[in-house]
Amino acid sequence: MKQGKLAVAVAIVVLLVAGAALATTTVSKDVTDTSVQEENVKCVNCHLKENNAMVQQWKNSPHAAAQDGQVGCYNCHAAEPGEPAAYMHEGALIRTLQSPRDCAFCHEQEVQQMEKSHHATAGQIMASLDNVLGEIVCSMESKAGAASGCWQCHGSVVKVLKGSNGKALLNENQAVMFDPATYPNSGIGRLNPDGTQGSCTACHGRHSFRSSVARQPENCGKCHLGPDHPQMEAYKESKHGIAYYTAVRERGMNAMNILKSGKWVLGKDYYTAPTCATCHMGATLKSDGSVTANTHNVGDRISWNLRAPISVKLNRVIFADGDEADIPGDIAPQVGQERKYKKYVMTNGEWSKVDAVGEVIEVKSWEMRREDMQVVCNQCHGVQVIGNFYKQFDELVVTYNEKFAKPTKKLYEMAKKEGLVSGSLFHTKLGWQWWEMWHHEGRRARHGASKMAPDYTHWHGLYDVAENFYHEFLPELMRLAAEHDKLPLFEKAVDDILAKPEHQWWKEGFDASVMKSIRDEQKTRYKQ
């Protein structure tokens, strides 16, 4: 917490708003103000009855244990007049819904990094295939499929319910009411009524807020799991995950020291295993004795985009106006160039996606991002192991891209152009096959390889990609081609692809001696 800055801010504000303390957020932040402290006691006394466990969580949290003064209920929940979600509660103007702006008062750097990160943009899925799936294909008018599905990870657009007079509706407790489809929600890219993007409680769960929770893989695993991006599962089966989970009964130096207050530095505070946070966000001891900073910009050390239909390298640029964006490409943009990007803005309480063009003033190329990651690897691994691992990983991504993704994408686009299919990916079997190949199976292969998880790389990954390509997508394509009297055209296109060396086995079979050896082995081993 930045106590110095806080003190100055409080001093100034107190002069300006003296006498109206209980309705002013800024004064409420003063953890040494006795009237605020009294307010906190009032909250606790009542809520200890109503929501005992919630209050206990706070009482045993770092906020309650803060040395420079306890951060209590009212320090965070006090609202300013005019806030969209403010309401009077037991004599105080408060809000229940917190946004990153509130947390930033004390945790400014963390919020700034988060706001620039890919995490903060997770709610911007208005214009995405995933969103169409959730809101339309899997929902009715209530959008329940998205509300209980997509938005719980990505974040909802939180809406205050308003009456015909434009004022917020109040429930029987006189609390401002939220559209139930949009709240409760702690999706990491939540679009808040105050115009901010993000939700700190996505990782720092109410009301304990402990970093020790966010450091643990389970926390990331709320969203980073499942058929379409099994990062959690891949971590669990990797050597890294094994080292982490088998240390759960350890004490002392071989344990993970994960409950440590304050900084948690790899190579200094712990060395047994990395968690998700270690590699993607954590601080690391360097060979010169210095410590790299941790970061809340979670994508900062990622060099590949593994989510896209075809993987691309990722370069981060900062524009002249302070915006940041990931720009794909093997060669990073250069300072001084202009680049297009998309951003979300709130105008009159409504969010929209707008095109933007900015002048690049700073670049963090994919190579630089990878180097930052390798500083972490280097704590436990030699340079050849690290370099060779990245070669294995890169080759795997290239194999997915070149052998399967690019040919399939090309054939699918050709099928669209020639009228074999129409509508979205979700309107046809062929579309759905291509969608699952890149969005599910191909991601599993790529994420698996990135985390040294052989089972996800192969059995949940390329194995499924290959089965889809040879036995689902191609046959369905040829069926459609025949149906549309375009067989020769598509036969030629497919033949051209299958003529490449990596697909030769499909037409020419495997080497006869290999096949004989397999049959012999089966006979000797299993007598069958």
User: Which of 2, 167, 391, 410 lies at the binding interface for its own copies (CB under 8 A)?
Assistant: 391
Nearest 5°: the CA angle 304, 310, 314 is 25
User: Which of 362, 371, 395, 496 lies at the binding interface for its own copies (CB under 8 A)?
Assistant: 395
Q: Which amino acid is at 287?
A: S
Closest CA to 54 of 207, 186, 165, 176: 207
Which one of 7-15, 73-81, 105-113, 520-528 is the stretch in contact with its own copies (CB under 8 A)? 520-528
Q: Which helix (H) or strand (E) holds 487?
A: helix 487-498
Nearer to its own copies, 240 or 364 (CB): 240
Nearer to its own copies, 129 or 373 (CB): 129
Site for its own copies in 457-496 (CB under 8 A): 457-463, 465-467, 470-471, 475
CB 440 within 8 A of CB 433: no
User: Which of 361, 427, 491, 496 lies at the binding interface for its own copies (CB under 8 A)?
Assistant: 427
Exposure of 164 by Cβ count < 10 A (0-12 exposed, 13-18 middle, 19+ buried)?
Answer: exposed
279 binds its own copies (CB under 8 A): no
419 binds its own copies (CB under 8 A): no
- The single-letter DSSP state of residue 234 is H
Q: SS3 string of 152-163? A: HHHCCECCECEC
Interface pattern 177-206 for its own copies (x via CB under 8 A): xx-xx-xx-x------------------x-
Q: How far is the CB of 271 from its own copies (least distance, A)?
A: 4
Which one of 3-11, 106-114, 418-426, 491-499 is the stretch in contact with its own copies (CB under 8 A)? 418-426
User: Which of 258, 276, 281, 306 lies at the binding interface for its own copies (CB under 8 A)?
Assistant: 258
212 binds its own copies (CB under 8 A): yes
Output b/e per residue, 273-290; b: 16+ Cβ within 10 A.
bbbbbbbbbbbbbeeeee
| Count of residues near its own copies by CB under 8 A | 162
User: Which of 359, 371, 402, 483 lies at the binding interface for its own copies (CB under 8 A)?
Assistant: 402
83 binds its own copies (CB under 8 A): no
Site for its own copies in 150-179 (CB under 8 A): 150-153, 171, 173, 175, 177-178
Kindly report the backbone phi and psi dihedral angles of residue 227, in degrees, each rounded to the nearest multiple of 5, phi listed first.
-65, -20
Which one of 25-33, 69-77, 391-399, 479-487 is the stretch in contact with its own copies (CB under 8 A)? 391-399
387 binds its own copies (CB under 8 A): yes
Q: Is 43 helix (H, G, I), strand (E, B) or coil?
A: helix
What is the rounded CA–CA span in Å between residue 303 and residue 504? 32
525 binds its own copies (CB under 8 A): yes
What is the rounded CA–CA span in Å between residue 371 and residue 312? 17
374 binds its own copies (CB under 8 A): no
Nearer to its own copies, 21 or 325 (CB): 325
* Residues 6 or more apart in contact with residue 20 via CB below 8 angstroms: none
* Residues 6 or more apart in contact with residue 249 via CB below 8 angstroms: none
Q: What tokens does 320 get?
A: 């002249």
Nearer to its own copies, 104 or 181 (CB): 181
Site for its own copies in 338-367 (CB under 8 A): 340-342, 353
Site for its own copies in 213-252 (CB under 8 A): 213, 216, 218-219, 221-223, 225-228, 236-239, 241-243, 245-246, 248-251
Site for its own copies in 305-324 (CB under 8 A): 305, 308-310, 312
In the block, residue with structure tokens 């060779």: 388
User: Which of 452, 477, 494, 497 lies at the binding interface for its own copies (CB under 8 A)?
Assistant: 452
Nearer to its own copies, 361 or 385 (CB): 385
Site for its own copies in 35-54 (CB under 8 A): 49-54
Nearer to its own copies, 106 or 158 (CB): 158
What is the rounded CA–CA span in Å between residue 134 and residue 151? 9
What is the rounded CA–CA span in Å between residue 67 and residue 64? 9
What is the rounded CA–CA span in Å between residue 408 and residue 447? 20
What is the rounded CA–CA span in Å between residue 188 and residue 208? 17
Q: At what angle do helices 429-436 and 406-417 cross, to 10 degrees?
A: 160
255 binds its own copies (CB under 8 A): yes
Which one of 11-19, 364-372, 393-401, 482-490 is the stretch in contact with its own copies (CB under 8 A)? 393-401
Q: How far is the CB of 270 from its own copies (least distance, A)?
A: 8
* Residues 6 or more apart in contact with residue 279 via CB below 8 angstroms: 301, 373, 376, 377
Q: Which amino acid is at 89?
A: H
User: Which of 20, 345, 361, 398 lies at the binding interface for its own copies (CB under 8 A)?
Assistant: 398
